[in-house]
Amino acid sequence: MDEESKNRLTDRVQDATAENLQTLTCPACGGGLSIQYTSRGKSALSVMCGHCMWRVIRDGLATEPLWVRELGPKIQTAKKAVEPPVSQLTGRQRKAQISSAASKKR
């Protein structure tokens, strides 16, 4: 995912209501997001997709996001069923995926 997309998503996370935040998914794969706000020293917002393995961190937030009071500082958004990227599959999983795809074509 490119930096501009990550920044737009971080803006949405920072400004979201608690209800809207819980529905956000990764724009690249549709998977759930791991979101954390910390306020020790400098405040920071971390947004990560565990499926795609990307992360964006925004330091020095002027205010605490509204959703923190309702949901807490660390949440996992709605998870959708997504298949791991081929690069993260084991050899056995790749063979099973190829076999499954081949049987669907028949």
Enter the tokens of residue 43.
């405040």
Q: For residue 41, give both structure tokens.
A: 């020293």
Q: Which two tokens stand for residue 34?
A: 């791991």
CA proximity to 38, closest of 57, 55, 18, 23: 57
Q: Please check whether residue 5 is in contact with residue 12, taking contact to mean a CB–CB distance below 8 angstroms.
A: no
**Tens digit of each residue's pLDDT (9 = 90 or more) over 40-94:** 888 999 999 988 888 999 999 989 999 999 999 999 997 655 555 555 556 666 5
Three-state SS at 35:
strand
Stretch (H or E) spanning 56: strand 54-59
Does the reported pTM lie above 0.95?
no
